[in-house]
């Protein structure tokens, strides 16, 4: 256990590099403040497909191909493909894996999937079990609404504290054969359930898990939060982000201006009608693989802590009155 420090954190003795990324953003996301850092932006939420579900799998496949193309890496040189999404049986990822024809490990971490894929991919590489890993995730507003809430055709009125599921897909190619930001440590989170039962208020449900993992990362490593250019949670939105900040402060960990949230960053909350901000697997994937990766390339940032957050409920569990268990995983990325 020489690579483990503290209770939940693992250092990598041979840190893998994020070689390249690929991002495809939806039309609304393409109107937000980060539009210049996305590789492609859809003009049609169906992406010329017959259904929204087929559109989601098409953009996930496209994001993976973009990451491979940017590195001039054929699929035959990739050892493992790690992916997951929000739909039942991670169907978008399954169809993408069938298209890519790369050995596939399906993941389910809900909206924490981008961070989960980075952490597991880095472990496989550092452990010598693979030389190149492709990890990816996606979400689509209309597929998530249809599965978890109401068909979009209903026009159901949304509550002010609700978040807008991000339409998009992001992929990252991990390996060693060229320069790039390195994944130097991961803190895998515990599942936290503090009794939240409202599936429309996911930010509030996920905030305790985010706070728990952030506290554990700094307890395990002894690092000062101020050494990070950015500590960014996955998709807590306005409500969950403030709850997370308050909970951390009450426990003695006061984070400053370098603390933010992907669900807040991806939209202009004053101009775009997304209520409390963004959610969904693509929230952290687009911000990390698009905006933040480009900032690393421009040498504007040198060290970040990505804390992917995930609400692990299902439609069945919610209908049966169960609580909403949540998880968060922290990934340290350094230039």
Q: What would the pLDDT profile of 241-260 be if each residue is shown by its tens digit?
A: 999 999 999 999 999 999 99
Q: Report the distance separating Cα 149 and Cα 91, nearest Å.
A: 18
Q: Where are the domains of the chain?
A: 4-175, 182-334
**Which whole-number Å values give the CA distances from 6 to 9, 92, 203, in the listed order?**
6, 36, 28
Q: Look at the domain 182-334 and name its fold.
A: Peroxisomal Thiolase; Chain A, domain 1 (3.40.47)
- pLDDT band for position 159 (50/70/90)? confident
Averaged pLDDT score across all residues of the chain: 95
- pLDDT band for position 155 (50/70/90)? low
* Mean pLDDT in residue range 147-165: 75
Percent of the chain with pLDDT over 70: 97
Q: Report the distance separating Cα 190 and Cα 286, nearest Å.
A: 24
Q: Report the distance separating Cα 288 and Cα 21, nearest Å.
A: 9
pTM of the model: 0.96
- Does residue 156 surpass a pLDDT of 70? no
- pLDDT band for position 2 (50/70/90)? low
Q: What would the pLDDT profile of 80-93 be if each residue is shown by its tens digit?
A: 999 999 999 999 99
Q: Report the distance separating Cα 212 and Cα 312, nearest Å.
A: 16
pLDDT for position 154: 58
pLDDT for position 318: 87
Which of 29-38, 156-165, 321-330 comes out lowest in average pLDDT? 156-165
Q: Among residues 65, 67, 42, which one has the least CA distance to residue 142? A: 42
- pLDDT band for position 153 (50/70/90)? low
- pLDDT band for position 149 (50/70/90)? confident
Q: What would the pLDDT profile of 274-316 be if each residue is shown by its tens digit?
A: 999 999 999 999 999 999 999 999 999 999 999 999 999 998 9
Q: Among residues 26, 7, 293, 268, which one has the least CA distance to residue 138? A: 26
Do 4-175 and 182-334 share a fold?
yes
* Mean pLDDT in residue range 164-187: 96
Query: Which one of 3.40.50.150, 3.40.190.10, 3.90.1640.10, 3.40.47.40 gives the CATH number of domain 4-175?
Result: 3.40.47.40
**Residue 147 CA to chain centroid, in angstroms?**
19
- Does residue 1 surpass a pLDDT of 70? no
User: Please, are residues 162 and 39 in contact by the beta-carbon 8 Å criterion?
Assistant: no
**Token pair listed for 156:** 């159901």
Q: What would the pLDDT profile of 9-63 be if each residue is shown by its tens digit?
A: 999 999 999 999 999 999 999 999 999 999 999 999 999 999 999 999 999 999 9
* Mean pLDDT in residue range 100-117: 98
- pLDDT band for position 199 (50/70/90)? confident
Q: Report the distance separating Cα 64 and Cα 97, nearest Å.
A: 10
* Mean pLDDT in residue range 99-121: 98
3-state secondary structure of 81: strand
* Mean pLDDT in residue range 205-222: 98
User: Please, are residues 281 and 84 in contact by the beta-carbon 8 Å criterion?
Assistant: yes
Q: Report the distance separating Cα 295 and Cα 301, nearest Å.
A: 6
- Does residue 100 surpass a pLDDT of 90? yes
Q: Which residue has the higher pLDDT, 245 or 151?
A: 245
pLDDT for position 158: 73
């Amino acid at each position: 256990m020489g690579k483990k420090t503290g209770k939940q954190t693992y250092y990598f003795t041979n840190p893998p590099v994020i070689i390249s990324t690929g991002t495809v953003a939806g039309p609304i996301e393409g109107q937000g403040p980060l539009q210049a850092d996305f590789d492609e932006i859809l003009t049609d939420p169906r992406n010329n497909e017959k259904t929204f579900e087929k559109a989601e799998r098409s953009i996930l496949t496209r994001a993976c191909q973009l990451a491979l193309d940017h590195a001039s890496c054929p699929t035959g040189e990739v050892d493992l493909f790690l992916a997951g999404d929000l739909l039942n049986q991670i169907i978008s990822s399954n169809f993408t894996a069938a298209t890519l024809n790369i050995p596939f490990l399906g993941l389910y971490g809900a909206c924490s999937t981008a961070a989960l894929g980075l952490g597991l991919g880095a472990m496989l590489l550092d452990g010598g079990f693979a030389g190149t890993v492709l990890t990816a995730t996606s979400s689509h507003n209309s597929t998530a609404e249809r599965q978890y809430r109401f068909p979009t055709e209903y026009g159901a009125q949304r509550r002010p504290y609700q978040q807008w599921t991000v339409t998009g897909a992001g992929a990252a190619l991990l390996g060693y054969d060229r320069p790039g930001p390195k994944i130097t440590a991961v803190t895998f989170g515990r599942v936290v359930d503090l009794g939240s039962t409202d599936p429309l208020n996911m930010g509030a449900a996920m905030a305790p898990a985010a706070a728990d993992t952030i506290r554990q990362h700094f307890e395990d490593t002894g690092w000062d939060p101020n050494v990070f250019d950015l500590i960014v949670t996955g998709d807590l939105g306005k409500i969950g982000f403030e709850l997370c900040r308050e909970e951390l402060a009450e426990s003695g960990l006061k984070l400053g201006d370098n603390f933010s949230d992907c669900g807040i960053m991806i939209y202009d909350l004053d101009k775009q009608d997304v209520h409390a901000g963004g959610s969904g697997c693509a929230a952290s994937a687009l911000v990390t693989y698009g905006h933040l990766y480009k900032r690393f390339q421009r040498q504007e940032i040198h060290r970040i802590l990505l804390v992917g957050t995930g609400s692990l409920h299902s439609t069945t569990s919610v209908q049966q009155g169960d609580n909403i268990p949540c998880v968060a995983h922290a990934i340290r990325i350094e230039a």
